[in-house]
Chain A
Amino acid sequence: MDIGIGLIAIGAALAVGISALATGLAQARIGAAAMGAIAEKPELAGRAILLVAIPETLVILGFAVAAMAILLLPA
């Protein structure tokens, strides 16, 4: 197998993996703060979910990059 194909696959995996780690780190901090806020004011639950969900865009963009990389692979 061409080493280039392997490198593309590794690049795609790294794109998703690293962005997922970054999302996890961001969500961990936001989630902890959001739970604290909800404990004080339960009516903030909707906005808390919104804030926790925001960093997920990172991993979605990582997925987009990985998808583009995989589309480069020969069929």
Chain B
Amino acid sequence: MLIPMAKLQIAGRREELSAVLEGIYRLQGMQLVDVARDPALDVDAAGLNDANSLTQARLELLVARLDALLALVGSDDRGDSRLHGDPDPVSGAVDLADVEAELDRISILVQEAAQHLDSLTDELAVLPRYLHPLEQLARLVPELAALPEYELQKLGLDTAALVLNTSDDTLVDTLRRELTEVFGVRFDLTSARVGTDAIGCLLVFSHSDSARLHALLGQEHVRHLPLPSAYSGQSLFGALAGMRTRLDALPRELADAHQVLEELIGPHVEAWHVTLAGARAELEQLAAAAGAGVTDRAFAVVGWVPRPHVARFHEALAALSMGPLAIEELPHDERAHSTPVLMKERRVARPFGLLTRFLDNPRAASLDPTGLMALFLPLMFGVMVGDVVYGTALLLVGLWARRKFGRISPGIADLCSVLVFGAIWAIIFGFLFGEALGNLGKNLFGDFSLWFYRGDANALQPLLLFALAIGAAHVLLGVVLGMWQSWRDRAHRHLLDRVGTFAFLCGMLGLAGFAAGALPPGFMSPAIALTVVGLVLVMSLHGTLGLIMAPLELLGAIGNILSYLRLAAVGLASVYLAIVANELATVGPLWLGIIVATFFHVLNLALAGFSPMIQALRLHYVEFFSKFFIGGGQAFIPFGKSHS
């Protein structure tokens, strides 16, 4: 059900605009309208003066700085143990000068600590990337690895690590040949694969040849793997040992750096959250003040209030004891897309509102299908699953998940509730179809079906007819709702189109019933008449193109009904998978049979919890909603609600 909206205008003395906006912000019951963007309002918007623009800029900077500082210690608005209750967002104006001075003082220290933390984090990420290839290269020259640093320096040897981005081993030979031409035998080159498309090479050479060798490598475009600056000048093996020592020490240093940051920021977290909420509230109120209408002496604030709450809103505003205010309701087009939408359902149907909004918000003053969805979606889910044991298992899973994860977000709680409703219908249809773990219940306790067992060879026909009956009822209900919606919108062409579709579908269903022998011959003439009248009516609405468009549209409506055969198809797939699981269990020894049957039943249960829900949802979105649903509504978001 959509709550009707009232468009209210609140007028008062201009100097009281800020106080009134703060009051509305506190009440969280009105969605404000920017008068400059509403062509129906003939009043000038206040806009922002220079002082307010400056305040806005300072507040935005303050919010950005506080967000950045709080992010450094991972503190958000929720779930931080350092916060005690929600801050009052309108507890008073933020003293910008004080807060800015405090932030300037702390920011210098925080910046240093944060930079230190960043450099340590980078080092921890970068060092292993050097260490791994260098360790592989070091194994190529173990005799050098055994030498201590000072011995290498005494020998006058240098090392260079190279990476050839190729898988062609002949390149190493080419490099060796070129080096031999220049340096003769005064070098040693060893190589090894360090990746799928990379060959690592280690060059050991005389310190006196270092400059010439690096120049030659540069000419040949060979990539030299430079060591981090802290290790340049050291030998390869000295650098490797240094890196390992550094990697061991880094976690401790990181923890210390975090501790320093926490000591700097931690004591201010609660106060800063209060300031942040206040700054955001002030920013919102500044924007709202800019969007209010003003004259030299008066202001006018325009906004939407749910009609049932108008009286309460009047009383609450009066209780804030501000100056005299004139509140009047403005005329508006209820069906306009700019009118905000507030959905309110009965408690049972409330979880299904999420599924309606998942597609789109209904347009204001249109039909909200949530209540009907609460009735049909679990029923269709139950038809498809239709198993006492699976239904009970899904019921328990749904209840457990709602209890365990429902607190994380209302959306998860709603989805769990939808599963619970579906599971209840699955148990009901489980008794109607006489299924418990497929045919296991029937084998153990005999046929306990109240209607028919879906696994029987002759069950296909009644199951198909049942699915089609649900489809026909659902689609025809959608068409009737579409007729009602068109009538309310005074959309006469749409109304006639729906009437034609309804007549055609009724006629076709009558003909099908007659062909199946379910209706007496006397029904044939009215059925043919309805079909022809419906077809001609829809054709006439489309003009010349109607000759092609109308039959296509009406065939689409028949396709919509046939689409409900998936209720039978998915249900049959589920029951036959369960039967297969039971049959496989009897093939081998008992213990193996139990394992195999459990595996297949768990698989079937997982499919039963997912696929039927998607199919039922699709039947609603595509087949049902397309007959009447008008989307594009804007959700009602009261001023001040974003921080509550």
Contacts and interface: CB of A to CB of B under 8 A. Distances in A.
Interface of A: 45-47, 49-50, 53-54, 56-57, 60-61, 63-64, 67, 70-71, 75
Contacts of A53: 614, 618, 621-622
Contact of A54 (B358, B359, B622): B622
Interface in B532-569: 559, 562-563, 565-566, 568-569
B215 interface: no
Q: Residue among A46, A60, A70 with the most chain B CB within 10 A? A: A60
A41 B149 CA distance: 58
A12 to B, nearest CB: 11
Contacts of B457: 75
Contacts of B358: 45-46
Query: Which 8 A-B pairs rank lowest in CB-CB distance, beginning with the nearest?
Result: A53-B618, A46-B359, A46-B358, A63-B569, A50-B621, A60-B566, A60-B565, A57-B563
A63 B565 contact: yes
Given A56-B615, A60-B562, A75-B458, 14 more contacts: A46-B621, A47-B360, A49-B614, A50-B618, A50-B622, A53-B621, A56-B563, A56-B566, A60-B563, A60-B569, A63-B568, A63-B569, A67-B460, A67-B464
14 contacts: A45-B358, A46-B358, A46-B621, A49-B614, A49-B618, A50-B621, A50-B622, A56-B566, A57-B562, A60-B563, A60-B566, A61-B559, A67-B565, A71-B460
B341 interface: no
B617 interface: yes
Given A53-B614, A53-B622, A70 B562 contact: no
A67 B462 CA distance: 12
B360 A57 contact: no
Name A's interface SS: helix
Interface of B: 358-360, 457-458, 460-461, 464, 559, 562-563, 565-566, 568-569, 614-615, 617-618, 621-622
Given A45-B358, A53-B622, A63-B569, A70 B458 contact: no
Nearest to B556: A57
Nearest to B560: A57
Contacts of B618: 49-50, 53, 56
Contacts, number: 50
A50 B622 CA distance: 7
Contacts of B615: 56
B461 A46 contact: no
A70 B460 contact: yes
Contacts of A54: 622
Contacts of A67: 460, 464, 565, 568
A70 B563 CA distance: 19
Contacts of A49: 614, 617-618, 621
A54 B566 CA distance: 13
A56 B617 CA distance: 13
Contacts of B565: 60, 63-64, 67
Contacts of A56: 563, 566, 615, 618
Contacts of A60: 562-563, 565-566, 569
B419 to A, nearest CB: 17
B155 to A, nearest CB: 58
A22 to B, nearest CB: 15
A46 to B, nearest CB: 4
Q: Residue among B458, B615, B617, B621 with the most chain A CB within 10 A? A: B621
B251 to A, nearest CB: 36
Nearest to B356: A46
A60 B457 CA distance: 20
A49 B359 CA distance: 9
Contacts of B559: 57, 61
B562 A46 contact: no
A23 to B, nearest CB: 11
A16 to B, nearest CB: 9
Q: Residue among B566, B568, B614 with the most chain A CB within 10 A? A: B566
Contacts of A70: 460
A31 to B, nearest CB: 13
A50 B626 CA distance: 11
B360 A46 contact: yes
B614 A47 contact: no
A64 B458 contact: no
